[in-house]
């Protein structure tokens, strides 16, 4: 049984989320999203280490709050959510050569697979400087 304190993790990330908007893997070295992927992984790693987080195996809820200037439309909800889901899942299913450039960040995972995401909350807020908050939480399981 999981410690009740380790059932949710929230953290802030500078910049915009990685976009999943092309057939090329978001993890491919040289992908235009590489800096955003590394920034998200670093923030998730720091938050997970502070809390003793281990990847969830049960269904999860994902909440994302994107803060950005209103006149800039770099990406939209579905692309951001897809990118975040891919980055925060276990990357051991990816070909080793495709993720080797991530170094130790390849081991950062908040859940096993993005198929576990069963509840999503997304919203945008105005801010002069782009940033976003990610919250991953275990969903209550019915008693067996």
pLDDT tens string, the chain, 144 residues long: the values are 444 446 999 999 999 999 987 777 788 777 889 999 999 999 999 999 999 999 999 999 999 999 998 776 678 899 999 999 999 999 987 776 778 888 899 999 999 999 999 999 999 999 999 999 999 999 976 554
Which strands, in side-by-side order, build the sheet including 8-14? 8-14, 131-138, 60-68, 117-126
Cβ-based neighbour number of residue 41 at 10 Å: 23
CATH superfamily of 17-138: Holliday junction resolvase RusA (3.30.1330.70)
Instruction: Please report, for the chain, the start and end positions of each structural domain, with discontinuous segments joined by +.
Output: 17-138
The reported pTM is 0.90
- Residue length of the chain: 144
Between CA 108 and CA 41 the distance in angstroms is: 6
């Amino acid at each position: 049984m999981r410690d009740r304190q380790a059932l949710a993790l929230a953290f802030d990330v500078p910049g915009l989320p990685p976009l999943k908007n092309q057939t090329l893997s978001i993890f491919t070295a040289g992908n235009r999203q590489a800096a955003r992927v590394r920034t998200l992984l670093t923030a998730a790693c720091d938050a997970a280490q502070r809390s003793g987080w281990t990847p969830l195996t049960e269904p999860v809820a994902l909440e994302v709050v994107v803060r950005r200037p209103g006149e800039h439309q770099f990406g939209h909800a579905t692309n951001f959510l897809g990118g975040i889901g891919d980055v925060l899942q276990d990357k051991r299913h990816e070909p080793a050569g495709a993720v080797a450039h991530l170094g130790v960040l390849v081991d950062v995972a908040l859940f096993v697979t993005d198929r576990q995401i069963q509840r999503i909350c997304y919203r945008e807020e105005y801010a002069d400087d782009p940033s976003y908050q990610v919250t991953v939480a275990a969903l209550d399981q019915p008693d067996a």
